[in-house]
């Protein structure tokens, strides 16, 4: 039986290295001895944006159901964890395996200026969208010069 090798194109080597470096920094600085960080197998790609009113997080999670994702906010840190389950193919042999399966974990230090009661999340075409509104006192105020 042939060994399954994960295919890596030459152009993806740098992005894979970047993901691994990101994971190392997140593990080192963002999650001292947390079991969910240590058990993470893969790291979903993320865009984190800040507007005047909110933080927006777009996390690529194709093939992950909403009941397999947990989102928490504590002490200014938003944490997203979950698992993408590998489908069973009993009578099939892989020739190429490029997609990642297993547990994942990401954390984002948004600070104390987030209103935790108004955080919303939903899926759009395999992308988890999280909106974390800022508190009123943290929104920028324009000062009119007289």
Q: Write the pLDDT tens digit of every residue in 48-91.
A: 999 999 999 999 999 999 999 999 999 999 999 999 988 888 88
When divided into structural domains, the chain yields a total of 1
Give residue 122's pLDDT: 97
Q: Are 108 and 121 in contact (CB under 8 A)?
A: no
Question: What is the Cα 126 distance to its own chain's centre?
Answer: 12
pTM: 0.70
Q: What is the pLDDT of residues 106-135, one digit of tens each?
A: 999 998 899 999 999 999 999 999 999 999
Question: What is the Cα 81 distance to its own chain's centre?
Answer: 7
Q: Is residue 143 situated within a structural domain? A: no
Structural domain that includes position 33: 12-137
What dihedral do alpha carbons 63, 71, 107, 87 form, nearest 10°? -20
The domain that holds 118 is classified in CATH as 2.60.40.790
Q: What is the pLDDT of residues 10-41, one digit of tens each?
A: 656 666 776 677 667 666 665 544 555 556 68
Q: Is residue 7 situated within a structural domain? A: no
Q: Which helix (H) or strand (E) holds 126?
A: none
Give residue 139's pLDDT: 65
């Amino acid at each position: 039986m042939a060994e399954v090798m994960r295919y890596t194109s030459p152009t993806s080597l740098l992005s894979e290295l970047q993901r691994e470096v990101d994971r190392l920094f997140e593990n080192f600085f963002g999650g001292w001895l947390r079991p969910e960080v240590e058990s993470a197998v893969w790291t979903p790609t993320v865009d984190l944006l800040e507007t005047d009113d909110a933080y927006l997080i777009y996390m690529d999670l194709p093939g992950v159901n909403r009941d397999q994702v947990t989102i928490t906010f504590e002490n200014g840190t938003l944490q997203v964890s979950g698992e993408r389950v590998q489908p069973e193919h009993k009578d099939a042999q892989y020739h190429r395996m490029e997609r990642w399966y297993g547990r994942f974990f990401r954390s984002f230090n948004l600070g104390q200026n987030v209103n935790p009661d108004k955080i919303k999340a939903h899926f759009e075409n395999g992308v988890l969208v999280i909106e974390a509104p800022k508190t009123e006192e943290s929104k920028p105020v324009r000062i009119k010069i007289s």
